[in-house]
Structure 1
């Protein structure tokens, strides 16, 4: 949020309230982080590590992601509005997938699909998908090598209610990290009694 002593504008307060009290799948470990201060007068930022252990065991790291909300009461022409959502997501991928020429296009498609699935109204969506090949050396051998997929994107929400945008971000990041769809409170139907 802005360091200014001003009272936050009503629309920005509405956006903040719409982000509070949300629950996510257990692999998401979310914290609030300092928001950028130069792009807009008001901002809030969240980050999440995607890890299937409660203590964030590095061996179970699946990815990380950020969700930033910018608000400028005067609006910005590039945004075509007063709000802008920025997301960054990164996840290691298998080397066979890293060679797929359609990987970037497929990964990008998960973002608008997640936004539409959650019912988030938006416009001016843009971004990039990057493949990164990392090798870590130590001593006389390669300690590790991996390919990471990284996506940076931004869009303008149509309203200050951002709950659907937040959940679309989480859904998209889960897809990028290779997690299956998450369904809460799954219960199995009772079997029919067999006739004798």
Structure 2
């Protein structure tokens, strides 16, 4: 059951007020998967440096989908550069997946049928490429079926995706009006 108008939800997505750490723009949405869709792309940018990027797509089929277990489906992808120890940590998949589910739960998003993968990529150049820098990334691909009672309910899902983008880049998803205090460093004697 999809009690709200897709165009209302689409408008809320495109007009959402994102964190200043996340630059978001609309991108072409897939047209073959469902009759209605909207897609955005975001980049986590801190002091002019892009730390990671991602996409969020909302698909909607009024007839429903057995695979989705509903009429709508969020599809998300996040890719972020991480330090080598994180990329090679055997628990990185569990931790990255928990960033999504914890964010959805923290923001009281109503969802089910979540699915996804976390991929850790450690690239070490050799031979003629040996002068290239090493590369360490994580990539989260996820989808879930939202339940909207009103078009405003989409906000909890957007905030969750925003948190996932920031956390993947090592940034705490604090509101823009709150400034993090850097920890005091002990002086060496």
TM value normalised by structure 1: 0.81
Q: Which protein has greater RCO, CA pairs closer than 8 Å, 6+ apart?
A: 2
Q: Residue 32 of structure 2 is aligned with which of 31, 38, 41?
A: 38
Please name the residue that 2:136 is paired with: 147
1:163: how far off? 1.3
Partner SS, residue 147 of structure 1: strand
Contact 2:84 2:136 in 1 (8 A): yes
Give the alignment partner of residue 68 of structure 2, picking from 79, 92, 102: 79
- Give CA-to-partner distance per residue, 1:97-147, whole Å, 9 cap, x none: 122111111111110100111111000001000011234579674221111
Residues 73, 13 of structure 1: alpha-carbon distance in 2 compared, 3 angstrom cutoff: same
Aligned counterpart, 2:122: 133
Using the TM superposition, give the Cα deviation of residue 10 of structure 1 relative to its aligned residue in structure 2, in angstroms.
Answer: 6.0
3-state SS, counterpart of residue 44 of structure 1: strand
Alpha-carbon separation, structure 1, partners of 2:129 and 2:146: 51
Q: Partners in 2 of 1:46 and 1:64 — Cα distance?
A: 11
Does structure 2 retain, via aligned residues, the 8 Å contact 1:26–1:52? no
Aligned residue runs from structure 1 range 1-196, under 5 A: 11-53=5-47, 57=48, 60-135=49-124, 141-159=130-148, 161-186=153-178
Q: Distance in 2 between matches of 1:82 and 1:154?
A: 13
> Number of residues paired by the alignment?
174
Cα RMSD over matched residues?
2.1
1:136–1:29 CA distance, 2 compared to 1 (3 A): farther
SS class of match (1:111): helix
Change in CA separation of 1:140 and 1:131 when aligned onto 2, cut-off 3 Å: closer
Change (3 A) 1:137 1:101: closer
